[in-house]
A and B are shown apart, each in its own frame.
Chain A
Amino acid sequence: MRLFTLIAILPLIVFGNGNAAAHAFLERASPRVGSTVSAAPRELTLSFTQKLESAFSGVMVTNAAGQRIDTGGARVNGNVMSVTLRPGGTGTYRVNWKVLSVDTHTTEGNFTFRVGQ
């Protein structure tokens, strides 16, 4: 019985913290992470490593003034999520995303990009 308990519990003790790098999930973004674009983008597109569930997946984009400029309804198509943006002026934009993948993992992350100089 002890041997059974050891074999069954050992993996849980060693690996059960479920620790995984959250940032690795986002594959590609447009505008690109950390990039500078000349004009305010009308759409943000995020590409992930796994297929997504539209329920429980979302993104929030704020401009330099802290105003929310995404129109709220993120569209999900396979592993790609996109959202339409209102014009937001120049400065540093911040993107906060949180997605649920089809294999039931939730991941979140954020990045910034610049509009203008």
Chain B
Amino acid sequence: MDEALIAVRAVQLASTAITAGVLIFPVVVAGPVFRAAAEPGIADVFTTWNGRMAWTGLALIALSGIAWLLLQTSAMSGRPLGEALADGLLWVVLSQTQFGAVSIVRGVILILLVVSLILKWTRSRWFGAPMVSAILVAAIAWTGHAAGTVGPIGPLHLAADALHLLAASAWIGGLLPLLLLLGEAGRRNEIDGPSIAFHASQRFSALGIVSVSVLLATGLINSWILIGSLRGLVATDYGQLVLLKVLLFAAMLCVAAVNRMLLTPRLGDPRGGQPEVKTLRQLKRNITIEIVIGFGVFAIVGILGTLHPAVHLVPA
């Protein structure tokens, strides 16, 4: 049961984060780049495929969300799922626990997101699908350890956790549409092709820097609250998992640094009249590596959610 819960949490987190990243990317990166380049062809193809990624994400959010609710009902009551449902415990969870309440709220937000996508409130409009998807991400904080933190530090923890989730979504989630965009740009031989790739990479780098800064700051706050000591960090399963997560984060940073400082400038090199095919391929490969590592991070977070925070395990 533990493994199922871990998997379902990881999928819920990953699909929510990626959907938000996919919807935020056009607002922050693709929209401005397309407008500056005045290239309708690539914008249409990108928008179509980006939309498909969003819808796939939504389907995964819905499926994993329902599975999470069911598995959690069984786990909370300590009864097998069939028994728990037959005894009406699902309603008890929904009406009498914070997790249940948050699930209802997120369900409503999800429906809102579907509506906003159908009505095409996307593209460059912040106050539409991008904003709703961001709220759906932030709400996850209320299902995790931050929700149980006692005392005046509770709200601080929740705020830090919500921001942490948002920053991760914008960055890791944004990697997929970036890959999509670079792929499309590479397929075009027109003059605007490489310049779109260059400007998109540049803009995404800026987004990445903001995201990384927020991740660092909020990550430190969360760690201080949930781990609280060096001993907690190294002597508990929980702490060691967080160390692994930080390691993966550092790996992503290294790859991102290579992309920003080495490969992206080559794309913008005015000497190259032809599209920089090799550089683009390296960039796409690196981004794929980042995405894979990012999935590893989501898997770790899925596990962390089921463990007791180290701060509760290590004697003061």
Binding site for B on A (CB under 8 A): 3-4, 7-12, 15-21, 24-25, 49-51, 53-56, 78-79, 100-107
Q: How far is the CA of A9 from the CA of B303 in the complex (A)?
A: 11
Whether A106 contacts B75 by the Cβ 8 Å rule is yes
- Contact flags (1/0) for B143-175 with A, using CB distance below 8 Å? 111111110001000000000000000000000
Q: In the bound complex, do residue B308 and residue A24 qualify as a contact, i.e. CB atoms below 8 Å apart?
A: yes
- The yes or no answer to B296 lying at the interface (CB within 8 A) is yes
A11 to B92, CA, bound (A): 33
* Further pairs besides A15-B303, A103-B143: 6, Cβ < 8 Å: A15-B237, A15-B240, A18-B306, A20-B308, A21-B313, A53-B76
- Asked if A51 and B3 make an inter-chain contact with CB atoms under 8 angstroms apart, the answer reads no
How many Å from the CB of B89 to the closest CB on chain A? Answer: 9
> 1/0 contact trace for B96-122 toward A, CB 8 Å?
111100000000000000000000000
Contact of A49 with B299 in the complex, beta carbons under 8 Å: no
A16 touches B295 (CB 8 A): no
Cα distance A46–B308 in the bound complex, in angstroms: 18
Among A4, A10, A49, A102, max chain B CB count under 10 A is at A102
Instruction: Provide the residues of chain A in CB contact with B154, threshold 8 Å.
Output: 51
Q: What are 24 A-B pairs with beta-carbon distances under 8 A?
A: A7-B248, A7-B292, A7-B293, A8-B296, A12-B3, A12-B6, A12-B299, A15-B303, A16-B6, A20-B238, A21-B308, A24-B312, A24-B313, A50-B145, A51-B148, A53-B76, A55-B92, A55-B97, A100-B97, A101-B148, A102-B99, A102-B147, A103-B144, A103-B147
The answer to whether A20 and B96 have CB atoms under 8 Å apart is: no
Contact B150 A20 (CB under 8 A): no
Residues of chain B within 8 A of A54, CB atoms compared: 96
The answer to whether B307 touches A11 (Cβ under 8 A) is: no
